[in-house]
Amino acid sequence: MNPLKPYYQTIASMKEKGLYTPVRVLESPQGPWVTIDGKKLLNFCSNNYLGFAQDKRIATAAIKAIKKYGVGAGAVRPISGNLALHMEAEKALAKLKGAEAAFLLPGGFIANIVAIATIVGKEDIVISDELNHASIIDAIKLAQVKTKFIYKHNDMAELEARLTEAVAVAKTPKSDGTKPVILVVTDGVFSMDGDIAHLPEIVRLAKKYGAVTMVDDAHGEGVLGDGKGIAHHFKLAGKLDIEVGTMSKAFGVLGGVIAGKRELIEYYRQKGRPYLFSTGLTVADAAAVIEGVKILTKSKSLVRKLWDNAAYLRKEFQKLGFDTGVTQTPITPVMLGDENLAKEFSAKLLARGVFATPIKFPMVAMGKARIRVMPSAGHSKKDLDYGLRAFAQVGKELGVI
């Protein structure tokens, strides 16, 4: 028997349970409208918040950089792949975030692994929100942390209780005689529900109990704080120990970033294994990040348009009778519950010219399936109304509203 056969059979089981997700192929730029299988569709499920993925200014900057530097770094950065573009992009991101220094990595997932697994080990302690991103969960696993506490989502009373327990555990020194690090880690914006971490209280409690604070701002960059992120949103710039982000959402390209105190960033450069053993960010991505920061710094108009579109969409969904959950951001979940219902809802939307993929287990808990609608600054009111009409038709047809 083929030892891999059970994995093949899993696919059939996933299809039966409505958990299998076919991957659509885009034949056009990533924008407010896309082409799939030759059909033009309203794009309601992209993370391209500000339209940067197809922004001509950013494309021009990337092309100009490629003509000068070529396409790739050609090596890991500590050997010979550390381009002037990388350093310029890091300087620009640090300034945008109000941090002493920033550190570019090949992706946001990798950034979380570096941020966590480089500074905590088996004998340290991690306290994590129960709805944190998969990359945070995997980073904690990779660090092999034996003592980890999960607190109920955004529950600050439980966080304090876990901190109290952590402090008691930390009284026992590690085998090398040093004191265990206590790391409190949270998403900034929770990507499936769209709500925001209670960051001021998290920072206050962490300081009270001598813990290190870390926030993953993947869905806050370009969105919150006039585009500068969650630290600026809460006036906490410079007060967070570790700020992680990604270039794959509002910046429209690829890459991860860690920002913080200069000494910490330098430690990550010297010790972060995924950085030491991964080729540096591509020329196009690095140039795009620099141009994206310039655009965000010069004008807030795209950020304002994003929020205007989000507010309109949420209000109209609620008028129709849809449940949009607890969102506080442009992430707009249309809560459906059943996995197969979400799958069918998405298919009927596609037939009406709306591309909105179902979000279901394991991306969210079983029974919490939804269509996560993602408006962008590129959508017009006419676009949003087109989508709303399709949602209304499908919602009535399937008895959701």
143 and 272 inside one domain: yes
Binned at pLDDT 50, 70 and 90, residue 17 comes out as confident
233 pLDDT higher than 80: yes
pLDDT beyond 90 at 76: yes
Clarify whether residues 287 and 334 are in a common domain.
no
**Same-domain status, 157 and 75:** yes
pLDDT of residue 296: 95
d(CA 90, CA 291): 12
Q: Is the pLDDT assigned to residue 18 strictly greater than 80?
A: no
pLDDT at 216: 98
Q: Are 306 and 375 in contact (CB under 8 A)?
A: yes
Out of 219, 305, 360, 379, which one is annotated catalytic? 219
Mean pLDDT of 153-181: 97
Domain boundary among 298, 324, 341: 298
Do residue 170 and residue 131 come from a single domain?
yes
Is 62 found in the same domain as 169?
Answer: yes
- CB-based contact 296:222 (threshold 8 Å): yes
pLDDT attached to residue 44: 98
Strand order from edge to edge, sheet including 358-359 = 332-337, 369-373, 358-359
319 and 259 both lie in a single domain: no
At 237-259, the pLDDT tens digits run 999 999 999 999 999 999 999 99
Instruction: Give residue-wise pLDDT tens across range 175-201.
Output: 999 999 999 999 999 999 999 999 999
- Among 298, 316, 340, the domain-final residue is 298
The mean pLDDT value for 147-153 works out to: 97
Condensed to tens digits (0 to 9), the pLDDT of residues 274-283 reads 999 999 999 9
Catalytic site includes residue 249: yes
| Banded model confidence at residue 361, pLDDT cuts 50, 70, 90 | confident
For residues 111 and 265, give the distance between their C-alpha atoms in angstroms, rounded to a whole number: 12
pLDDT at res. 49:
98
How many independent structural domains does the chain possess? 2
On average, the pLDDT of the chain sits at 96
**pLDDT for the residue numbered 65:** 98
* Percentage of the chain exceeding pLDDT 70: 100
Which is the catalytic residue, given 191, 278, 346, 376?
A: 191
- Tell me: pLDDT of 203 over 80: yes
CATH number at residue 337: 3.90.1150.10
User: Do 27 and 127 belong to one domain?
Assistant: no
Q: 279, 298, 317: which is the final residue of a domain?
A: 298
Catalytic residue among 86, 133, 228, 249: 249
| CATH code, domain with 265 | 3.40.640.10
Please check whether residue 12 is in contact with residue 6, taking contact to mean a CB–CB distance below 8 angstroms.
Answer: no
Task: Return the pLDDT at 271.
Answer: 97
Pair (38, 75) in one structural domain: no
pLDDT band at 8 (very low <50, low <70, confident <90, very high): confident
Mean pLDDT of 120-133: 97
Banded pLDDT at 22 (limits 50, 70, 90): confident
Residues 288 and 337 in one domain: no
User: Is residue 346 flagged as an active site residue?
Assistant: no
Asked if the model's pLDDT at residue 19 lies above 80, the reply is no
Q: Same domain for 255 and 381?
A: no
pLDDT band at 16 (very low <50, low <70, confident <90, very high): confident
Do 254 and 158 reside in the same domain of the chain?
yes
What pLDDT is stored for residue 165 in this prediction? 98
**Average pLDDT of the residues in 26-33:** 96
Residues 54-82: what's their mean pLDDT? 96
Residues 96 and 163 in one domain: yes
Q: For residue 13, count other CB atoms closer than 10 A to its CB.
A: 10
**Confidence category of residue 167, pLDDT binned at 50, 70, 90:** very high
Give the tens place of pLDDT for each residue, 207-226: 999 999 999 999 999 999 99
**Interval 354-377 mean pLDDT:** 93
Beta-carbon count within 10 A of 155 CB? 14
Can 191 be counted among the known catalytic residues? yes
Query: What average pLDDT score do residues 95-122 get?
Result: 96
Residues 285-334: pLDDT tens digits?
999 999 999 999 999 999 999 999 999 999 999 999 999 999 999 999 99
Range of the domain at 227: 56-298
Q: Which of 21-25, 132-136, 218-222, 379-383 has the lowest mean pLDDT?
A: 21-25
